[in-house]
Amino acid sequence: MQDPQHPVPADTALETVLVSITGTVQGVGYRHATVRRAHMLGVTGWVQNLLDGTVEALVQGTPDQVDHMLEWLRRGPPGAVVADITTRREYTDKRYICFEQV
């Protein structure tokens, strides 16, 4: 079982991806559902609404965890209509300890 304060061992290689999600993704519980899914998958990072109506997320985890999270972000929760997502790999030494809504 993973330690909730450090979901991935310190010596594990992590991927960090910045994601922009467009469509009907605000006012439908997208961020809250994203936090729940991230906790289920064990990824870390954050999610937030942007003023232009998009949702932005930073996802950090093992390649497999990140792939599963991106797959979910393409669909979103019931009520969301995802038009498109764009991803950009981030190169950082920072390790996030949780996933939160900001």
Hey, which residues are catalytic here? 31, 49
Distance CA 102, CA 96 (A): 13
Distance CA 65, CA 61 (A): 6
- Which tokens belong to 94? 């920072």
DSSP type of residue 95: -
Closest listed residue to residue 34, CA positions, set 52, 22, 23, 46: 46
